[in-house]
Amino acid sequence: MDIGLVGLGKMGGNMRSRLREAGHTVVGYDRNPDLADADSLASMVEQLPSPKVVWVMVPAGDPTRETVAALGELLGEGDLVVDGGNSKWTDDQANAAMLADKGVGFVDCGVSGGVWGLQNGYALMCGGSDEDVAKVQPALDALKPAEGGFVHAGRKPGAGHFAKMVHNGIEYAMMQSYAEGWELLEKVDLVEDVPAVFDSWRSGTVIRSWLLDLLVAAIEDDTHLDQLRGYADDSGEGRWTVEAAIDNAVPMNVIAASLFARFTSRQDDSPAMKAIAAMRNQFGGHAVHTEAPVGGDANPDVRGG
């Protein structure tokens, strides 16, 4: 299929490569002309056959809202916009309604996989009508892992991003558990090889996971995580998950506690938060905060996880 892709950063650029490797034609636009295939949104849209499909991979909030609004002026009846960023589901509902007035379809798609998605594929959680999802299905099939990893979460706008939001809330809690366990093993003068203990858990145990793999990779490179500050950013999804739990009277003790732990990390140099920061950097290439004289993160990016 032919598809436009707006936003060619760490995620978007890799997604373009994976789509092209699957034989699809991708016309990419980015504000950085060194990354772009088209020199404007309008030029990108002009190069696409109808019905046109444009996938948006820009930061959530105003950048996404402004991009979708601009596409609404450029696209026409039967075309489709896919928001693959980390937008809040309420934004999806507003964007879908705005585009529907112009006859343009809308699919919200939560994407997980970080910088490893190019190689392993991306987990995709979509919201939108059956007809709209079908228009982008060839791209979804190319982006997802070889087996599984895709769900049409619901037909109402926002279903995909709501599912991805809860996914990220669970991720917060899992990372916090691993991090606290790592801190305790480090603290007590008893276990001689903490990285080896974590590595042994990767096979045959009930707590094995990709996050555990990533933590092992991080502590093998920096055993005591001395190169990191105990500071962990949050990208918003954890907050939205807790807000939704409050709105719906759903007890969410562990996820809420893991979110608040990240806030605490901005007050103290927490050993556990060094592990959180290490895992975020491993799966998403997120900026880490280092001590002088290294100089801190040169290009902070707090999107995702």
Residues classed as catalytic: 164, 171
Q: How far apart are the first and last CA of the chain?
A: 30
CA-based torsion, 296, 297, 298, 300: positive or negative: negative
104 DSSP 8-state letter: -
> Minimal CA–CA distance to 142: which of 54, 28, 22?
22
d(CA 186, CA 175): 16
The burial of 33, by beta-carbon neighbours within 10 Å (0-12 exposed, 13-18 middle, 19 or more buried), is given as exposed
d(CA 54, CA 186): 48
> Minimal CA–CA distance to 100: which of 74, 84, 80?
80
d(CA 62, CA 64): 5
> Minimal CA–CA distance to 28: which of 37, 15, 19, 18?
37
d(CA 100, CA 168): 29
Helix, strand, or coil (residue 135): helix
d(CA 9, CA 149): 22
